[in-house]
Amino acid sequence: MTPVTPVTLLGLGAMGAALAEALLKAGHATTVWNRSPGKADALVAQGATVAATPGDAIRAGELVIVCLFDHASVHEVLDPLAPDLAGRTLLNLTTTKPEQARELAVWAAEAGVAYLDGGIMAVPGMIGQPGASILYSGSAEVFGEHRALLDLWASSTYFGEDAGLASLYDFALLSAMYVMFAGFMHGAAMVAPAGVSAREFASMAAPWLTAMTGGFDGFGEVIDGGDYTVPGQQSLEFSNLGLFIEASAEQGVGAEPIAMVQRLIQRQLDAGHGGEGFARIIESIKHPA
């Protein structure tokens, strides 16, 4: 079946351009707009139509996709165009906080616009490739109606009508990723004075951390069960990371990433939970000091 939905895409940064390219490859009539001129040239060669203004772009498409820098830029572009958007469908793939996604969903509802929010779990080069994933929440009807189009970019997962959910999962997954990355950088900094290159360390860290992710499910079971005394866990006393902080200092490097983990542990030790499992540090996070 030939795809027929005329699509508009606002924002041709690295991500917007990758999204547009996948739509064009699949044969969607695609109108694009970007604040700075020149970014559409390669897409025009692939069949895109360039609009001179965001208003012209919106009026050309039934499904309007925005992939701009941040929440403020989305409002800056869309606020004056609410009357043009009325009766159309808006898909926001700009990274926003959950509360910002919810705020935009309310804004859209007041403007008579069907709204779906998305969180992209991929870099531009992964769009349309295996391994890319996009998380969605907001209108179930929009997700269902445009599912085939969404699947052109990535595997698509829908979380529910609360427009903030996709962003919540997105931020939770990225929070986990950034702390892992910081942990890798810390390890690389520790071994550097011993003449170990960061790439050499990477070749050891990748299989090690991959193996360690096997522990997530067990942590999950303990956390969901709410009993940190279940036998067989590494205790918080055993997990005391003071020596890691001293070893970092002896290498002449900072210890911030591991010191952060130690603070989470210490609060549970101070509260008398030393004999309980490591997963208990989630309580330090759930109940900030």
Shortest CB 106 distance to ligand NDP, Å? 20
**Nearest to 39, CA basis, from 63, 10, 64, 66:** 10
Distances (CA, A) of 165 to 71, 105, 170, 215: 16, 12, 8, 25
Q: Which is nearer to ligand NDP, 67 or 150 (CB)?
A: 67
Q: Which residues bind ligand NDP (CB under 6 A)?
A: 11-16, 34-36, 39, 67-70, 73, 76-77, 94-95, 120, 123-124
Query: How many other CB atoms sit within 10 Å of the CB of residue 231?
Result: 5
Closest residue to ligand NDP: CB criterion: 13
Shortest CB 103 distance to ligand NDP, Å? 15
Contacts 24+ apart (CB under 8 A), 105-114: 105/138, 105/163, 105/164, 107/75, 107/82, 111/82, 111/83, 111/85, 111/86, 112/85, 112/86, 112/87, 113/82, 113/85, 113/86, 113/87, 113/88, 113/89, 114/88, 114/89, 114/90, 114/139, 114/141, 114/142
Shortest CB 69 distance to ligand NDP, Å? 3
Backbone φ/ψ region at 237: left (φ over 0), alpha (ψ -120 to 50), beta: alpha
Q: Which is nearer to ligand NDP, 173 or 223 (CB)?
A: 173
Q: Which is nearer to ligand NDP, 67 or 111 (CB)?
A: 67
Shortest CB 14 distance to ligand NDP, Å? 4
CB hemisphere CA count around 85 (13 angstroms)? 27
Those residues with Cβ within 8 angstroms of residue 94's Cβ, 6 or more apart along the chain or in another chain: 11, 66, 67, 68, 69, 70, 71, 73, 74
Shortest CB 129 distance to ligand NDP, Å? 13
Q: Which is nearer to ligand NDP, 71 or 186 (CB)?
A: 71
Shortest CB 182 distance to ligand NDP, Å? 18
Q: Which is nearer to ligand NDP, 55 or 124 (CB)?
A: 124
Shortest CB 220 distance to ligand NDP, Å? 25
Q: Which helix (H) or strand (E) holds 89?
A: strand 89-92
